[in-house]
Structure 1
Amino acid sequence: MLIKLEVLEKIKSGEITLQYRRWQRRTVKSGGTLKTRLGVLQIGEITPVAANAVTNADARRAGFADTAEFLAWLDTMKPGDLDRIEVSYKGEDPREALGGDTQLGDDMVKHLKVELLKIDRPVGTGWSVKVLRLIAEQEGVAASVLADALGQEKSAFKSRARELVALGLLISGDIGYRLSPRGSALLAKV
């Protein structure tokens, strides 16, 4: 579920507490969380709803002035089932703190090497370190360009890059990636 930055900021401040989505299949679940650029969102109750059942109060909770503005926005969306999704700001993304941890002792370096080998299995040993070095040299470069440089499909590259983000080694930006302090510390040791 993609959410615009200005909407994320309003969710974080508590100004927006609802989202509406039309989709073929849900990408979030009640009680789950969603990692975003501003932190982690808590997903509350998800309820199927008819567009004409949305009240002015609900439209305002979702950041619209009224139901007319909500319905105009809805007309621009792809067809699909409409859901009403309760959202709230849960807190900072724990990957941020992880990415800032540069104290990598021998045990942690060994652990990270094992995790990198798992990521490397489908594409060959050394892929992860190669990607970390490539991104260190070319921060903010689009994933499609990096994937081409490695002779990979963009979707496969992004899937593995997300694993490096989860380990706190990369930071995902609006365009491309950059090495986290933890990623730089690991590169210095491998």
Structure 2
Amino acid sequence: MLMRPAELAAIRAGDIDLAFRRWDQPRVKVGTRMRTAVGLVEITSVDRVPVKSLTAADARRAGTGSLAALRQGLDRVHADRPIYRIGLRYAGTDPRQALRETLPDAAEIDAIGTWLDRLDRASPTGPWTRATLLLIDELPATRAPELARRMGRDTPSFKQNVRKLKERGLTESLDIGYRLSPRGAAVLDREGHPRVAGDRPEPEPGTPLPHLGAPATRALTERGVVRLEQVAELSAAEVQALHGVGPYALRHLRAALDAAGLAFRDDPDAPSARPASS
């Protein structure tokens, strides 16, 4: 079930708890927890409904401006199919996020190594697991097609392999490319693999940028902005002036800053703009 980034953000914020789709038959089940860019989204209900039952309240809960807009959107494609009303709720962060930061003990590393060996043996193209981890470590935030080319693989199969590593918390997807997780680094270090990136300086402390989309992320990183604390040193106008930063990215940056107790430099609620207490 595809959802736009703005819809996902609104679900996380609690502003959206419904979606409507035209399907031949239900494509999701109640209780399913979907992994998304904002975390887990749970399906709380799936009901087939007649178009005449739709209300303005449904439209608001689905994040649509009006009942007319909701109906028009549903009639735009596959108007002959039945309508399903899907209940949604934000179910928390992706558990893989915590897994990535959890350093495995020796027994866990041995188990992960056994699993990686099994993937290598099952591959019709030969061993790939450690080479992929090492390449991502060497070239973080590099587009998947470039990484696939270096591995001599096509992009879809390369991405499929990386997803397997991500499931075990060994890698993390970025808006552009991937990076090795602390868990993945621990595995490579324990196994004694020579890591080109081993001497790379530790990343600056602070809060990573939220998922903003590749253009906005590229624009910020090219300016050297990779943490929310650095964003807070800029005004909203300065960020918006960067090529690739649109309303969606600005809105998500503002929400992430607010959640971290930060704000744009020119925001009235920014710490620097608040009067000092007497």
CA distance in 2, matches of 1:77, 1:176: 33
Query: How far apart are residue 118 of structure 1 and its match?
Result: 2.8
Unaligned runs of 5+ in 2: 192-278
TM-score using structure 2 length: 0.61
Question: Which residue identity lines up with residue 21 of structure 1 in the other structure?
Answer: R
CA distance in 1, matches of 2:75, 2:99: 41
Which residue in the other structure is 2:133 paired with?
Answer: 132
Q: Which has the larger radius of gyration?
A: 2
Q: Which residues in structure 2 correspond to 1:45-84 (within 5 Å)?
A: 45-75=45-75, 77=77, 82-84=83-85
Query: How far apart are residue 149 of structure 1 and its match?
Result: 2.3
Higher relative contact order (CA 8 A, sep 6+): 1
Which residue in the other structure is 2:116 paired with?
Answer: 116
Q: Which residues in structure 2 correspond to 1:33-182 (within 5 Å)?
A: 33-75=33-75, 77=77, 82-102=83-103, 104-120=104-120, 121-123=122-124, 126-182=127-183
1:139-173 deviations in Å (ceiling 9; x for gaps): 22222332232222322222221111110001112
CA distance in 1, matches of 2:143, 2:78: 26
CA distance in 1, matches of 2:161, 2:145: 13
Question: Which residue identity lines up with residue 57 of structure 1 in the other structure?
Answer: A
CA distance in 2, matches of 1:130, 1:69: 50
Query: How far apart are residue 125 of structure 1 and its match?
Result: 5.4
Question: Which residue identity lines up with residue 86 of structure 2 in the other structure?
Answer: I
Unaligned runs of 5+ in 1: none
Query: How far apart are residue 97 of structure 1 and its match?
Result: 0.6
CA distance in 2, matches of 1:164, 1:78: 37
Query: How far apart are residue 52 of structure 1 and its match?
Result: 4.6
Which residue in the other structure is 2:9 paired with?
Answer: 9
Query: How far apart are residue 27 of structure 1 and its match?
Result: 4.7
Task: Count matched residues.
Answer: 189
Bigger Cα displacement from structure 2, 131-140 vs 71-80: 71-80
CA distance in 1, matches of 2:77, 2:85: 15
CA distance in 2, matches of 1:10, 1:20: 15
TM-score using structure 1 length: 0.86
Question: Which residue identity lines up with residue 158 of structure 1 in the other structure?
Answer: K
Bigger Cα displacement from structure 2, 79-88 vs 89-98: 79-88
Cα root mean square deviation, aligned: 2.3
From the superposition, tell whether residues 61 and 143 of structure 1 become closer, same or farther in structure 2 (CA, over 3 Å).
same
Q: Is the 8 A contact 1:119 1:160 kept in 2?
A: no
CA distance in 2, matches of 1:25, 1:159: 27
1:75-107 deviations in Å (ceiling 9; x for gaps): 5556665422111011111101100012x3221
From the superposition, tell whether residues 71 and 148 of structure 1 become closer, same or farther in structure 2 (CA, over 3 Å).
farther
Q: Percent identity?
A: 35
Query: How far apart are residue 64 of structure 1 and its match?
Result: 0.8
Structure 1 segments of 4 or more deviating over 6 A? none
CA distance in 2, matches of 1:75, 1:142: 37
CA distance in 2, matches of 1:27, 1:180: 33
From the superposition, tell whether residues 70 and 167 of structure 1 become closer, same or farther in structure 2 (CA, over 3 Å).
same
